[in-house]
């Protein structure tokens, strides 16, 4: 599954490099952007509230509600989702799946309760650099030096079947995804959605070769916004 990404900051569609460098605004209308991806053939959409990721609480929720309500897309959403109440409220708004990252890495009890209550309506994002998990909008390794594989193993033991994997050092760079990192995670037995660094249709082909090993999706952001290829072209490969 090819999944276009919309990152929102201050109500605009933006892209960062490695979570912090070279911010670029691509649209001031995220809802219009979501409809554009729907017209291009998307069925699933990955939305991140960057303001929420940095602050610890979703800040652009009205925009996300509108996307879920009017785009016709299945929407997964993350960025500041750090409480059971937030998950419940967002699911009630028509969002199909909630992404948890920071809270998942920091609080095993929360993770257990969230999975037990919401099952596959919650997915964990393993956001890593040099094999270590980062949190707080990718600004912090938490001081714990939690390993990505170690974290993945713990998720598997809790009952999770699928994760999102982002190599922070690749994200927004258009320098290709971390194939080896994805392969390592696949060895845990989890299904993996790969994110970060996709720059070309060739990159998509390389990731697709891991489909039999458990890769179930590819999140694509900057490459689409920079016109490296169209979503229609990417979907033909899926």
Q: Which helix (H) or strand (E) holds 54?
A: helix 50-55
Q: Is the dihedral of CA 126, 128, 133, 138 positive or negative?
A: negative
Whole-angstrom distance, CA of residue 238 vs CA of residue 60: 31
User: Which of 49, 127, 171, 203 does the annotation list as catalytic?
Assistant: 127
- Residue pair 126/156 in contact by the 8 Å Cβ criterion: no
Rg (CA), the chain: 16
Cα 181 to Cα 17, 57, 97, 99: the distances in Å are 19, 29, 24, 20
Number of neighbouring beta carbons within 10 Å of residue 21: 9
In the DSSP assignment, the letter for residue 71 is S
Q: Which two tokens stand for residue 106?
A: 């920091």
Our measurement of the distance from residue 2's CA atom to the centroid of its chain's CA atoms, rounded to an integer in Å, reads 12
Q: Which of the following is catalytic: 7, 167, 171, 203? A: 7
d(CA 50, CA 172): 14
Do 224 and 203 form a contact (C-beta atoms < 8 A)? no
Whether 7 is catalytic: yes
Residue 140 pairs in a beta bridge with: 135
Q: Indicate the helix (H) or strand (E) that contains 122.
A: strand 122-129
Using alpha carbons, select from 49, 55, 47 the residue that is nearest to residue 9.
Answer: 49
- As annotated, the active-site residues are 7, 127
């Amino acid at each position: 599954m090819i999944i276009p990404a919309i990152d929102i900051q201050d109500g605009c569609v933006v892209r960062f490099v490695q979570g912090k460098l070279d911010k670029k605004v691509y649209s001031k209308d995220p809802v219009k952007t979501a409809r554009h991806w729907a017209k291009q053939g998307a069925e699933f959409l990955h939305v991140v509230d960057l303001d929420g990721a940095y602050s610890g609480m979703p800040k652009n929720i009205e925009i996300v509600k509108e996307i879920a309500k009017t785009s016709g897309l299945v929407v997964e959403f993350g960025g500041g989702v750090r409480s059971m109440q937030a998950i419940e409220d967002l699911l009630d708004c028509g969002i199909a799946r909630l992404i948890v990252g920071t809270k998942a890495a920091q609080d095993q009890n929360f993770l257990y309760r969230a999975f037990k209550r919401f099952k596959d309506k919650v997915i964990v994002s393993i956001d890593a650099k040099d094999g270590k998990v980062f949190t707080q909008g990718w600004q912090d390794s938490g001081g714990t030096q939690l390993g990505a594989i170690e974290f993945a193993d713990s998720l598997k033991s809790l009952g999770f079947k699928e994760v999102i994997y982002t190599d922070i050092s690749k994200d927004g760079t258009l320098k290709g995804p971390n194939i080896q990192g994805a392969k390592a995670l696949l060895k845990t037995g989890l299904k993996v959605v790969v994110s970060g660094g996709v720059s070309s249709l060739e990159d998509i082909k390389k990731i697709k070769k891991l489909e039999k090993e458990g890769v179930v999706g590819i999140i694509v952001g900057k490459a689409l916004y920079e016109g490296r290829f169209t979503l229609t072209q990417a979907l033909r490969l899926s």
